[in-house]
Chains A and B, each alone.
Chain A
Amino acid sequence: MPNQVKLKIDGEYVEAKAGESVLDAARAAGKFIPSLCHVKGLTPVGACRLCMVEVAGIPRPMPACTTTVQDGMVISTVSEKLTRYRQMIMQLLLSERNHVCAVCVSNGSCELQDMASKLGVTHSEFPYRYPRLPVDASHPRFVLDHNRCILCTRCVRVCAEVEGANTWNIMSRGVTSMLAADLNGNWGDSETCTMCGKCVEACPTGALAVKGKAVEEMTKNTDAVSRLATARGGTQQ
């Protein structure tokens, strides 16, 4: 078949659709590749850098989510180096903002928390930054807690690509980057927000949550967002 390619992942031959990402191909083959910014159906952005894999012939690791499969590609999803890098990146994310799981609405159903366990991260070697960040509770239905945000931009993409509202964007740069509603107003004052809640469902952590939820009460349905995005023919590689 012309639009099928064959590649080798961790020593196993895998068939994939031409144009598919290495991440999708590997996951379809039952491989575990960690990722926090990827949602199938949304444009991959390669922001969290957890899905880095080794591609034979390329000196540096490549992000699986934005690398397209090619015939004859040889991929390693696991290596000592990758594990170390992934653990370090995980620690960077944990140390960046204030992830206090014990009092988080998403405790127990948080992708960040799960990923730390999956990657064997028991603590952060990097000192916590303890930034002072606001909580935007101006929206009638939802809450934005910047303390829990990992800047994965899933909300930004689902809002733009599925809902078409373009409410969210990232403002400022570097470590001061922040999620902003419209032109950095209160979320509650947003004229573009349709209150659809897809951003909340897509959010991997407790950064976006339904108002009124107590600790551990917030569960997300990212799969539904993903199905919706895919069904709508969202950008796929």
Chain B
Amino acid sequence: MKIRDLEALNSVRQQGLTKYKPARPRIAVGLGTCGIGNGAEDVYQAFTSAVHTLGADVQIDRVGCFGFCAEEPLVNIAIPGKPLVILNRVKPQEAERILTEVLAGTVDQARALCKIQSWDHLTGVVDFGEGFPDIPEWNAIDFYKGQKKIVLRNCGLIDPEDIEEYIAVGGYKALLRTLRNAEPERVIEELKTARLRGRGGAGFLVATKWESMRNAPEGQKYIICNADEGDPGAYMNRNEIESDPHNLIEGMIIGAYVMGASEGIVYVRAEYPLAVHRLEKAIAQAQAYGLLGEDILGSGFSFHLSLVEGAGAFVCGEETAMIASLEGRAGRPRPRPPYPSEQGLWGDPTDINNVETWYNVPVIVNNGGRWFAQTGTERSPGTKVFSLVGKIKNTGLVEVPLGTPLKTFVYDIGGGTGNGKAVKALQTGGPSGGCVPVDMFGTPVDYEALAQLGSIMGSGGMVVMDEDNCMVDVARYFVEFTHSESCGKCAPCRVGLDHCLRILNSVSEGRATEADRDALEQLGPMIRDNSLCGLGQSAPNPVLTTLRYFRHEFEDHIQEGNCAAGVCEELFLTPCENSCPLHMNIPRFIQLYKEDRLEDAFESVIMDNPLPASTGRVCQHPCDDRCRRAGIDDAVNMREIHRFIADSVYGTEMEESVLKRLLERKMPPSGKKVAVVGAGPTGLASSFYLALLGHEVTVYDENSEPGGMLRFALPEYRLPKAVVATEVDFIRRLGVEFVCNIRIGVDKTPQSLSKEFDSVFLALGTWEASPIDLPGVQCTGVYHALHFLDEVAHGKDLRVGQRVVVIGGGNAAVDSARTVARLGADVTVVYRRQRDDMPAIPEEVDEAAEEGVKFMFLAAPHRVISDGQGRVTAIEVQRTTLGEFGVTGRRRPVPTDEILRITCDSVILAIGERVDTVFTGGSSLDLNRDGTVKVDRYSAETNLHGVYAGGDLVTGASNVSNAMSHGKHVAEMIDERLMGENRFAALFGSYTYSDELPDEPVAGGRNSTPLLPPEERRKSFEEVMLGFSPDQVSHEAHRCLRCDVKDECRVGAAAE
């Protein structure tokens, strides 16, 4: 049936509406490639057979994709008179139940994702109905909230294989109007008003291109749709064609008419079979309805549209290469000018536009350019579809107005990583784009802003990266891609990328030098400026942006052979070892323990980590986050295993025996003297290694005993003083001298020390409270958390009273609260964010709650109230709500007007610590503004020759293991300087142990250490975590998957 006029179109429209919004219930399954991949085909079959079984009068249809890939399969339920309900993650076995409900005129509201009461297709509004109050409207849920569907206006709603449904929602109306009005110039005017820019990435003004085509001499002209979407992680075009193919066809016919082309080609990837199938079907239908072919809609205008499948070369997305490919030649670009609009396919004027550009055409013709320009920004109007993928909770296709900031994509729409890890960067534009770091997530997405950052918008791929992504590897991956997709025609791209790849490979294998990195920085701009086509011109972007924004990661790989993300396999033993600040060889001590070699296991542990019993109790255990066992059940409890090993050895014959081994290994006296300032974890770790390296080590501390924060900040119930004393004593017996009650800056200065000693290591802690602007902070009864803990540790009897409020959410806050609880007071922790946002170790928070510690979240201190004597009587806190996302993905607490008063006798502030700069003793030591010491990133040397600094003094308040890692590193650096060679590796012994893997991993989840019962805990400062039993430690040790055992042969063979 050929449509020739409006009347005929309207009658088809009515016909289509009876299918799109039938009088009986309609169940439509989202059958895009994404849905099918998630089992939607089975769901469709299940519904079909359920209808058959139940004999139900229900219409079962296929639709495209509504965009929310993470929630596929999506099923639309339209019960006449009721809103369209979208169900997510539907399983085939649910079909009968859902169908039964539908027949009863309802859906399970708790089960639904969202509903649509009325949908504006922009070419026509469809009202479904009202009801289902418990289901959120579609744009009320996070994923769709910031979205505006112009391009995707029909996707996931209409049947893509039925032209009548497209016509039902106003399709081909714009075409009819264009042909009937016969004013092609008006279309160009509308496009000009709309300021529509090419959606393929370059952002060229569509009207300009079309106008020059229109003005080209009459004769054969071609229009081409570029659907050769090849960026890794980008699938917008696929989805658009699969879900709404007629929209493309209509846009192209309008374009052909305006430009005077009689032939059009859709160049689509062969890897998109479903899109090809649906588009072929759509073309056939359009021909059958008289919308394609000769004498379209009776206007006399003829246009033929065909489809060509690309052979899979990325470079064919470049327009001149695409033309070469269409002409049957190898897909290699040629120089422009002449532009295709002058000399294109077969030498005739040719217009090439991206899929999405064409999709915007009918709606602009229909609603006008002015309407279109209202959305988006001044220079980049309209919307853009992005595929949001990678380390993100809500993956999917997202259409937002241009100018939307990046953080909206990642946090509001995407929901963050969803695994508790921090987002690190966003890659836009695929291999031609760049990586934008988190602190630039405020940048609005438009053509110019992204280019400014060194990236591009590209066709719309957006890959989210978290802390597990190595940026060197990201750059390497993309260059590997462009390297293998380079056509080879011009030298800069062909050979230049080869050298780039070689260098990036060597960086990720730890073989690169700084000269290599410099070569990359030279090659990048050269390739960009001299390559023949867009592929080469943009190929260096991933390298240049990562070098610009993640330079430190390159430095880590080059200088230290360290890949913090744990991606570059040559650079680490296992993920746990790599995540450990001390780089403990974890699988080794676990295996040695399994082999009943407790002494060896302990030696292995203590050589990697000089305070194994203390860290075994208080480490933040980053290893847990990387353990591959978590992929089966839970991470191996590595911290408790090395605590068990240490606890079993200290105080026994074995301790003496290992001490003897270490003393035998100790290098002969070097004659060099080293002063370490601060006997905390940093200083202790460094002195352990410095002593073994044969140096004469003196450790100064202002306290009466060594141990620093371990001794005086960590409460007894977490880390008993006796444990610290044992470990300090072990280090003392290795030949370290401890001199207590010496305050640096007062009794001695860095300068005086550097005269007495060959090297000085400053390893002081952050004991000074960060300043806070809180009225009443000077009142009696207001404590700083570390001072409070320190005084308790010193045995002072603090009269905190009956009710105490602790402000803060870190470990110091939780430690203070649990200590207060043990002092017999009622304690409330006030934190301005929510529980999940607390930086404290989660287990500690749980234990605190068990001990009766109360928490008040979303509240910030407002002022402290005191009585006439200046004693605290209460604190006022201000309620906060969580506002906009910050660039790091945490919502900002926003104060409200609500003030609450909490009666209390004391207030403990745990809101951050800093360095007390007295220690500089007036020396010219270079400090940062926050009082931390400036050091060379790798040598850890300060601006004073031979004076080093590390630990909290450099990083600001951190944790025990990080502090110790500094101490370990500085010991190596000091020794290398003093002795003129690196002797550090020679300290460490080797062990022979089994590398047999069990056929099957040992079953059973993670063992947790038994805890003292909560009622006992409140009564005393007894240690809470009791440690593993021998059975537990054995089972836990056997849970290790031994990631250190690598089958070299097999890996090698696979690579060939």
Contact of B488 (CB < 8 Å), options: A52, A63, A173: A173
Contact of A176 (CB < 8 Å), options: B335, B488, B490, B537: B488
Cβ distance B336 to chain A, nearest Cβ, rounded Å = 9
**Is the CB–CB distance between A92 and B491 below 8 Å?**
yes
- Residues of chain B contacted by A150 (CB below 8 angstroms): 491
Bound Cα distance A84, B523 (Å): 11
Q: A45-B334, A68-B337, A126-B499 are in contact. Are A92 and B484 (CB under 8 A)?
A: no
**Is the CB–CB distance between B491 and A48 below 8 Å?**
yes
Q: Is A174 an interface residue (CB 8 A)?
A: yes
* 21 residue pairs bridging A and B, Cβ less than 8 Å apart: A46-B490, A47-B489, A48-B491, A49-B490, A63-B335, A85-B530, A88-B496, A89-B491, A92-B495, A96-B495, A126-B499, A126-B519, A151-B489, A170-B332, A171-B330, A173-B485, A173-B486, A175-B483, A175-B494, A176-B488, A177-B489
Q: Is B198 an interface residue (CB 8 A)?
A: no
Extra contacts besides A151-B489, A174-B488 (10): CB < 8 Å = A45-B334, A46-B490, A48-B490, A49-B490, A49-B532, A63-B532, A88-B526, A96-B494, A173-B313, A173-B488
Contact of B530 (CB < 8 Å), options: A45, A61, A125, A173: A61
Contact of B330 (CB < 8 Å), options: A45, A95, A170: A170
Give the size category of B's interface with A.
20 to 34
**Is the CB–CB distance between A46 and B486 below 8 Å?**
no
- Residues of chain A contacted by B313 (CB below 8 angstroms): 173
Closest to A60 in B: B529
Closest to B502 in A: A127
Q: Is B28 an interface residue (CB 8 A)?
A: no
Q: Which of A191-233 contact B (CB under 8 A)?
A: none
Bound Cα distance A126, B515 (Å): 11
- Residues of chain B contacted by A176 (CB below 8 angstroms): 488
Cβ distance A57 to chain B, nearest Cβ, rounded Å = 15
Closest to A176 in B: B488
Q: Is A106 an interface residue (CB 8 A)?
A: no
Cβ distance B523 to chain A, nearest Cβ, rounded Å = 7
**Is the CB–CB distance between A177 and B494 below 8 Å?**
yes
Closest to A61 in B: B529
Q: Is A167 an interface residue (CB 8 A)?
A: no
Q: Which of B508-539 contact A (CB under 8 A)?
A: 519, 522-523, 526, 529-532, 537
Q: Which of B337, B495, B523, B529 lies at the interface centre, i.e. has the most chain A CB atoms within 10 A of its CB?
A: B495
**Is the CB–CB distance between B531 and A49 below 8 Å?**
yes
Q: Is A66 an interface residue (CB 8 A)?
A: yes
Closest to A46 in B: B335
Bound Cα distance A84, B537 (Å): 17
Closest to A36 in B: B491
- Residues of chain B contacted by A48 (CB below 8 angstroms): 490-491
**Is the CB–CB distance between A151 and B335 below 8 Å?**
no
Q: Mark A33-66, 1 if CB is under 8 A from B, else 0.
A: 0000000000011111100100000001101001
- Residues of chain A contacted by B531 (CB below 8 angstroms): 49
**Is the CB–CB distance between A174 and B483 below 8 Å?**
yes
Closest to A152 in B: B491
Bound Cα distance A52, B536 (Å): 15
Closest to B501 in A: A175
Q: Is A162 an interface residue (CB 8 A)?
A: no
- Residues of chain A contacted by B486 (CB below 8 angstroms): 173-175
Q: Mark A174-186, 1 if CB is under 8 A from B, else 0.
A: 1111000000000
Bound Cα distance A181, B537 (Å): 30
Cβ distance A90 to chain B, nearest Cβ, rounded Å = 9
Bound Cα distance A95, B496 (Å): 10
Q: Which of A46, A171, A175 lies at the interface centre, i.e. has the most chain B CB atoms within 10 A of its CB?
A: A175
Q: Is A169 an interface residue (CB 8 A)?
A: yes
**Is the CB–CB distance between B484 and A88 below 8 Å?**
no
Bound Cα distance A172, B335 (Å): 20
Cβ distance B507 to chain A, nearest Cβ, rounded Å = 15
**Is the CB–CB distance between B495 and A93 below 8 Å?**
yes
Bound Cα distance A126, B523 (Å): 10
Q: A46-B490, A85-B529, A126-B519 are in contact. Are A175 and B495 (CB under 8 A)?
A: yes
- Residues of chain A contacted by B332 (CB below 8 angstroms): 170, 173
Q: Is A123 an interface residue (CB 8 A)?
A: no
- Residues of chain A contacted by B35 (CB below 8 angstroms): none
Q: Mark A159-170, 1 if CB is under 8 A from B, else 0.
A: 000000000011
- Residues of chain B contacted by A141 (CB below 8 angstroms): none
**Is the CB–CB distance between B529 and A174 below 8 Å?**
no
Bound Cα distance A63, B519 (Å): 24
**Is the CB–CB distance between B484 and A174 below 8 Å?**
yes
Q: Which of B485, B491, B498, B522 lies at the interface centre, i.e. has the most chain A CB atoms within 10 A of its CB?
A: B491
Q: Mark B900-917, 1 if CB is under 8 A from A, else 0.
A: 000000000000000000
Closest to B331 in A: A173
Closest to A97 in B: B495
Contact of B335 (CB < 8 Å), options: A45, A88, A171, A174: A45
Q: Is B160 an interface residue (CB 8 A)?
A: no
Cβ distance A123 to chain B, nearest Cβ, rounded Å = 14
Q: Is B487 an interface residue (CB 8 A)?
A: yes
Bound Cα distance A218, B530 (Å): 32
- Residues of chain A contacted by B396 (CB below 8 angstroms): none
- Residues of chain A contacted by B430 (CB below 8 angstroms): none
Cβ distance A76 to chain B, nearest Cβ, rounded Å = 14
- Residues of chain B contacted by A95 (CB below 8 angstroms): 495, 499
**Is the CB–CB distance between B488 and A170 below 8 Å?**
yes
**Is the CB–CB distance between A177 and B490 below 8 Å?**
no
- Residues of chain A contacted by B522 (CB below 8 angstroms): 88
Q: Is B492 an interface residue (CB 8 A)?
A: yes
Closest to B532 in A: A46
**Is the CB–CB distance between B488 and A151 below 8 Å?**
yes
Q: A92-B491, A175-B488 are in contact. Are A169 and B530 (CB under 8 A)?
A: no
Closest to A169 in B: B330
Closest to B337 in A: A68
**Is the CB–CB distance between B494 and A174 below 8 Å?**
yes
Bound Cα distance A129, B501 (Å): 12
